[in-house]
Structure 1
Amino acid sequence: MTTDTASAAHCAAHPEDFVPGRPVVFRHATVLTVEARGVIENGDVLVVEDRIEAIGRDLTVPDGTVEIDATNGILMPGMIDSHRHMYQTALRGIGADWTLSQYFVFCYLNWGQLFRPQDIYAGNLSAAVEALDAGVTTTLDWSHGLQTLDHAEAAVDALQATSGRFVLAYGNLLGAPWEWATNSEFKAFAARRFTPGNDMLGLQLAFDVTAEPSFPERKAFEAARELGLRVTTHAGVWGATTDDSIRLMWENGFMTPDVTYVHATSLSQDSYHRIAATGGSVSVSSESELNAGQGYPPTWQLRQHGIPVSLSMDSSMWWSADLFSAMRSTLSADRAREHLAAHARDETVVHNHLRAEDVVRWATLGGAQALGLESVTGSITPGKKADLLLIKNDRSPAMHPIIHPYGHVVFQAGRGDVHTVMVDGKIVKYDHALLDDTLTTARRAATETVEHFRTTMGETEWLAAREPELPRTERVANPYGYTSWDGGQDQHRPEA
């Protein structure tokens, strides 16, 4: 039996209304389907069980359907982060002033080995909870801190402790991928913890190609093929992974649509041609790339070559985990590059090539495609899993009026405006509040990790990591002769 909109309506839904098996309808939203239907003003979306049942206006819904009033809100697919080192979240913000080389020194040379299995758990749990709170329903955990299988078990345990959708990209920055990827114990772990067809928890391999002429990474690629796994790799990272890495993958037949190239900032045209010709995609981490030095965010190149794009946040050890920020910084970086290039030619950009709609698509369906989940999530499409994000905040002056919906998501909204989050048909956040107490556990675990690192490193090394040395800079000579006046405020001015 069904009922019309009037008899189905509630004054307001309550958390206790969200019980398994009970349908949910979002009413009167600006719906961004991120597919052929485009934008539906004053639209409804009906969810039955774990799937999107219908999209339209004034939908007729089953008896007992819970109604969420989405008036003055934007309903869109849950966002997807295609590259995040989740385990590092327990050391949130320690590297805010790092360069890429300082990150390498901390994680690869000096302190990466300090991560214990419980620290992996703490970081992953913190990151998973934060993702859901910020409207990110699917995250690829680029987990290159898995020194042992105990670390890997902890990573999976943390992901499964929340209601998010995840892909574990298994890696070990302190080991050789051609060794750990072919290890029988790793294969047993993969068979034990990952079930084929389980779209809530997937597995990929995560490793980089060093450009060693003997191409030792061949065995890792072969292991991925044997297990039917996708590969994600940091490519085109200035001073680390180069065009030679791409060339070796090409020459050995391992550039396929199942490969995601992370960053891909400092590559030649030939490398972009190879990626485009083989159907690969690129995960752009603009907040990281603009700060750390991998290279300039390459979306202007990727657009020219027709290479699919997804967005990612990299690491909360450095940057935020805010895909609103990713969309904004990606769009800003692309447009800035176009303007500067035009100015160098003594020209003016009249029309922007990259639009707000494009980066919203990259943050949703683009991520699903990069993870091989485009048939599962990434758009509001009947039959797909119900991974939904309602952006609504009646207490925010920035959330009204909504005139350009895609532009509003990118330039006006933020994670503080995330009202409701649904994953696999289950409400995990409602009315700006998470519906379980996992955050308390995550905060406690992260506190213990910080204490472990700070104690083990010692206060001097801890402070040196948090506050790296400031380089000396020389001021440009000022011909007008008044640069000696600074009001006593210039603390970093070099000595005469």
Structure 2
Amino acid sequence: MTFNDPRPDELTTGRPILFRDATVLSMDPAVGLLDRGDVLVRGERIEAVGRDLEAPQDTAVVDASGGILMPGMVDTHRHMWQTALRGLGADWTLSQYFVFYYLNWGKIFRPEDIHAGNLLSAVDALDSGVTTTVDWSHGLQTPEHGDAAVEALRSVPGRFVLAYGNLLGAPWEWANAPEFRSFADRHFSSRDDMLGLQLAFDVTGDETFPEKAAFEAARELGLRVTTHAGVWGATGDDGIRLMWEHGFMTPDVTYVHSATLSEDSYQRIAASGGTVSVSAESEQNAGQGYPPTWRLRRYGIPASLSMDTSVWFSADLFSAMRATLSADRARDHLEAHAAGETVVHHKLRARDVVEWATIGGARVLGLDDRIGSLTPGKKADLVLIRNDRDPAMFPLLHPYGHVVYQAGRADVDTVLVGGTVVKYRHELVGVDVRRARDAVAATVEYARGTLGEEAWREAMEPEIPQRELIPNPYTYSAYRGEGVAVRHEES
């Protein structure tokens, strides 16, 4: 039996699913871009991609006409626990972020608060078409905090990588502590496609290189490392040099931001096969440095996209793609204007940032053999962007440009993760949004009460420094004689 435009319950019974007549952005060079293309999903995998595919018996056929079908997006750096205080730091600088979490208030977060933030963030990711998220979880003060993070991620039907960190501890200590090893054995003793593990810590540039022991722990456990690098005033070239000199720059390291590094550091990242996670919206606002894709392109360093933290910024990769492409092009224009020239051809194209948000992210995580493109045999992580009620979705002429500059999270119609439908016709399926909302409400109440109203208000509305305006010689406020204007101070 074949169902046309099936109901949600008809997509959760194990039948094959055929998406019909979509604009297919496969992100696989061998498959390409297909107008009026079809994608057949059977079980957890993509079985076929093409035109006019035959629907096997019992297939649920989804009308995808007028929509864009693409791989699920991959966010390679998101502090999910901080979603519990979404938007609190909208006007923060990076220094104010550090003061809030590292010096004053990071210590107040309980395991249940980590759970609440992760739960809401995981639901948020799926709703916006992000099917794989790296939880850069540097709020794990104890293994119990880690247990809470894992429990939240496992309760949501997305694909996640827990990047274990502790901003209040020394990575060379916690990464080698028996408690952490017990945690890793408890949750990650066997391979799990839905939840992976990395280590997350930063290299300060201390010449004694205490982080060596953390890198050794990662190597012993066979774990990738993700580290904030090239962050103005925090991590720089000395950290990169020390990693290089001690042999810890490998393809298994992701450098987050990498916005203020020297040519030598970029060359070392490139030579070692390292990758970079760019958070353009964060870098533009917080002050880590200018979004570095214009540099990465020149050194051939693979890039991926990320949102950083929704305590500040947006929580979707549509925003990331838009911010990244705009920042890269703006830099090219600025460089050209400084040289008295004009840019007549864009070097970075819309397709490039869509690639970074999908297969590029999968490559950074070492998962590109399983996810990141609509390739027969890969896991069926895919997103249908379609919204008949949104006038911005018509006409669909340049599909890559449409994804970047026209579409948004409200246009995410359907999401599959490993063949399981988690969103359909703009509604989440099998996801308890109320539970996430209630958990976060309890954390907000606790955090606000613990901070006190004065500190809460200061966090919400940081001080605005006084600024002196430049005198304007064309502004007049008094007259002397007939038709003669004078500056106010002369009158």
Q: TM-score, length-normalised on structure 2?
A: 0.96
Tell me what 1:276 maps to. Answer: 270
- Superposition pairs of residues 154-173 of structure 1, within 5 angstroms: 154-173=148-167
How far the C-alpha of 1:228 sits from its partner, in A, is 0.3
Tell me what 1:431 maps to. Answer: 425
Q: 2:6 aligns with which of 1, 13, 23?
A: 13
Structure 1 residue identity aligned to 2:402: H
Structure 1 residue identity aligned to 2:351: E
Structure 1 residue identity aligned to 2:38: D
Matched, 1:370 2:370: no
Q: 1:302 aligns with which of 296, 304, 308?
A: 296
How far the C-alpha of 1:461 sits from its partner, in A, is 0.6
CA distance in 1, matches of 2:448, 2:211: 35
CA distance in 2, matches of 1:288, 1:69: 37
Determine if contact 2:296/2:303 at 8 Å carries over to the other structure: yes
Mean alpha-carbon deviation: is it higher for 87-96 or for 194-203?
A: 194-203
Tell me the alpha carbon deviations over residues 323-349 of structure 1, each in whole angstroms, 9 at most, x when there is no partner.
Answer: 001000000000000001100111000
Structure 2 residue identity aligned to 1:412: Q
CA distance in 2, matches of 1:48, 1:252: 47
How far the C-alpha of 1:20 sits from its partner, in A, is 4.2
Q: Secondary structure at the match of 1:479?
A: coil
- Superposition pairs of residues 95-114 of structure 1, within 5 angstroms: 95-114=89-108
- Superposition pairs of residues 209-228 of structure 1, within 5 angstroms: 209-228=203-222
Tell me what 2:251 maps to. Answer: 257
CA distance in 1, matches of 2:431, 2:246: 49
CA distance in 2, matches of 1:169, 1:74: 31
Structure 1: segments with no counterpart, 5+ residues:
1-6, 485-496
Mean alpha-carbon deviation: is it higher for 272-281 or for 365-374?
A: 365-374
Structure 2 residue identity aligned to 1:29: A
Mean alpha-carbon deviation: is it higher for 156-165 or for 429-438?
A: 429-438
Tell me the alpha carbon deviations over residues 81-140 of structure 1, each in whole angstroms, 9 at most, x when there is no partner.
Answer: 000000000100000000000000000000000110000000000000000000000000
CA distance in 1, matches of 2:350, 2:201: 32
CA distance in 1, matches of 2:167, 2:470: 42
Q: 2:60 aligns with which of 48, 58, 66?
A: 66
RMSD: 1.0
CA distance in 1, matches of 2:13, 2:185: 29
- Superposition pairs of residues 1-150 of structure 1, within 5 angstroms: 8=2, 10-36=3-29, 37-150=31-144
How far the C-alpha of 1:303 sits from its partner, in A, is 0.1
Determine if contact 1:178/1:220 at 8 Å carries over to the other structure: yes
CA distance in 2, matches of 1:16, 1:318: 37
- Superposition pairs of residues 166-245 of structure 1, within 5 angstroms: 166-245=160-239
CA gap 1:383/1:482 in 2 versus in 1, 3 angstroms: farther
CA distance in 1, matches of 2:448, 2:134: 28
Tell me the alpha carbon deviations over residues 34-81 of structure 1, each in whole angstroms, 9 at most, x when there is no partner.
Answer: 011221010000001000000001111221111111000000000000
Structure 1 residue identity aligned to 2:36: N
Give percent identity, aligned residues only.
67
Q: Secondary structure at the match of 1:247?
A: helix
Determine if contact 1:20/1:426 at 8 Å carries over to the other structure: no
Structure 2 residue identity aligned to 1:203: L
Q: Secondary structure at the match of 2:358?
A: helix
How far the C-alpha of 1:13 sits from its partner, in A, is 1.1
Pairs aligned (count)? 477
CA gap 1:336/1:44 in 2 versus in 1, 3 angstroms: same
Determine if contact 1:377/1:387 at 8 Å carries over to the other structure: yes
- Superposition pairs of residues 268-417 of structure 1, within 5 angstroms: 268-417=262-411
Mean alpha-carbon deviation: is it higher for 147-156 or for 367-376?
A: 367-376
Tell me the alpha carbon deviations over residues 342-383 of structure 1, each in whole angstroms, 9 at most, x when there is no partner.
Answer: 001110001000000000000001111111111110000011
Tell me what 2:460 maps to. Answer: 466
Matched, 1:478 2:454: no
Structure 2 residue identity aligned to 1:161: S
Structure 2 residue identity aligned to 1:139: T
Determine if contact 1:51/1:382 at 8 Å carries over to the other structure: yes
Determine if contact 1:28/1:42 at 8 Å carries over to the other structure: yes
Structure 2 residue identity aligned to 1:33: S
How far the C-alpha of 1:435 sits from its partner, in A, is 1.0
How far the C-alpha of 1:22 sits from its partner, in A, is 1.4
Tell me the alpha carbon deviations over residues 402-440 of structure 1, each in whole angstroms, 9 at most, x when there is no partner.
Answer: 110000000110000000000010000000000124210
Tell me what 1:491 maps to. Answer: none
CA distance in 1, matches of 2:43, 2:5: 21
CA distance in 1, matches of 2:182, 2:13: 33
Structure 2: segments with no counterpart, 5+ residues:
479-491
Determine if contact 1:208/1:233 at 8 Å carries over to the other structure: yes
Q: Secondary structure at the match of 1:168?
A: strand
CA distance in 2, matches of 1:19, 1:129: 19
Determine if contact 2:392/2:406 at 8 Å carries over to the other structure: yes
How far the C-alpha of 1:17 sits from its partner, in A, is 0.3
Determine if contact 1:199/1:376 at 8 Å carries over to the other structure: no
Mean alpha-carbon deviation: is it higher for 235-244 or for 180-189?
A: 180-189
CA distance in 1, matches of 2:476, 2:444: 47
Determine if contact 1:108/1:174 at 8 Å carries over to the other structure: yes
Q: Secondary structure at the match of 2:242?
A: helix
Q: Secondary structure at the match of 2:323?
A: helix
CA distance in 2, matches of 1:472, 1:253: 48
Determine if contact 1:80/1:138 at 8 Å carries over to the other structure: yes
Mean alpha-carbon deviation: is it higher for 257-266 or for 183-192?
A: 183-192
Structure 1 residue identity aligned to 2:372: G
Determine if contact 2:202/2:228 at 8 Å carries over to the other structure: yes
CA distance in 2, matches of 1:476, 1:312: 38
Tell me what 1:421 maps to. Answer: 415
Tell me what 1:487 maps to. Answer: none
Determine if contact 1:331/1:354 at 8 Å carries over to the other structure: yes
How far the C-alpha of 1:291 sits from its partner, in A, is 0.1
Tell me the alpha carbon deviations over residues 431-480 of structure 1, each in whole angstroms, 9 at most, x when there is no partner.
Answer: 00001242100000000000001001100010001100011111111111
Q: Secondary structure at the match of 1:62?
A: coil
How far the C-alpha of 1:21 sits from its partner, in A, is 2.5
